[in-house]
Amino acid sequence: MSGFYGFLFQVYPYVCFTVFLLGSLIRFDQNQYSWKSDSSQMLRAGTLRWGSNLFHVGILFLFFGHMVGLFTPHSVYGPFMTAGTKQMLAVVAGGFAGLLCFVGLTLLLHRRIFDERIRHTSHPTDIAVLLVLWVQLVVGLITLPYSWQHADGSVMLILADWAQRIVTLRPVDATALAALPWPYLFHVVFGMTIFLLFPFSRLVHVWSGFATIGFLFRPYQVVRSRRLNVPAGYDLPGQPAAVPPRSVAASGATSRPTKAPVVPVVSKIQERPL
């Protein structure tokens, strides 16, 4: 069994994250038209409004909560917070966010399966992704009573040490994780599997969600359009206001606009002998 746990917690993480990064890059480069969330809002928006909002609020809180909880070294928060206090904070805050996410995800899954119109227009992977996320979320909620019983924060320290060693390419002691209760092990392995399936599903739209932050820093977009109710010839470059004279503006609604004068263009390109 030591070899099995060694593969799961020493090799499998790098397999999942390699496929996650390279697969996303290749899909974006080769098949950008499939890079979308395939929203079904136009078909039925009632349940989607509640389910989508609750799900996304909960899942974003859980995602960043896991990132902070797993990858923050103990030396950073140790001077002002014990490991047990941090674990209890994670149980309470994560439990609340998990319940919001569970309600929203259940509404979305029920809508996909039992709404005939939505089901017939859904791809099999759409339902599969929701089922995978639902199972992962339920198992995560099952770990809460176990974390409450280990109020000293020992379990959190073991998981955080493993995660930090993985991202820093340091050796991992798989036997320490093997001693944890089964919900933790299932939650960790199944979570890595979601990253493995990420490039082959609609989950790739998560990249676009984070990429929208770039809109806050990009320059203004220059849009050039012909002004409305301006006769032809009066919106040419070089005219500051591009406003026709009063006589033309008064008769613009009843008379035909004046044709713009033709300006000859002199070419500066010299002819070369063939």
Residues ≥6 apart with Cβ < 8 Å to 243: 230, 234, 249
Q: How far is CA 90 from CA 68, 69, 153, in A?
A: 10, 8, 10
* Residue 24 near residue 188 (C-beta atoms within 8 A): no
How far is the C-alpha of 68 from the C-alpha of 160, rounded, in Å? 10
Say how many C-beta atoms besides its own lie within 10 A of residue 11's C-beta.
12
Which sequence spans correspond to the domains of the chain?
2-27+44-207
229 vs 168 pLDDT, higher one: 168
* Residue 249 near residue 243 (C-beta atoms within 8 A): yes
Give the tens place of pLDDT for each residue, 7-57: 999 999 999 999 999 999 999 898 887 777 777 766 666 688 889 899 999
pLDDT category at 271 given cuts 50, 70, 90 is very low
What integer pLDDT is reported at residue 136 of this predicted model? 97
The verdict on domain 2-27+44-207 having CATH code 1.20.950.20 is yes
* Residue 183 near residue 202 (C-beta atoms within 8 A): no
What integer pLDDT is reported at residue 266 of this predicted model? 47
Q: Which of 127-131, 190-194, 246-250, 260-264 bottoms out in mean pLDDT, i.e. has the lowest? A: 260-264
* pTM (2 d.p.): 0.75
Alpha-carbon dihedral 39, 94, 97, 174, rounded to 10 degrees: 20
Q: What average pLDDT does range 198-226 have in this prediction?
A: 79
pLDDT category at 152 given cuts 50, 70, 90 is confident
Give the tens place of pLDDT for each residue, 228-264: 565 666 555 555 554 555 655 555 544 455 555 554 5
Give the tens place of pLDDT for each residue, 88-97: 999 999 999 9
What integer pLDDT is reported at residue 105 of this predicted model? 95
Radius of gyration of the chain (CA): 29
Name which of 29, 99, 20 is nearest 59 in CA terms.
Answer: 99
Residue 22 has which token pair? 């390279």
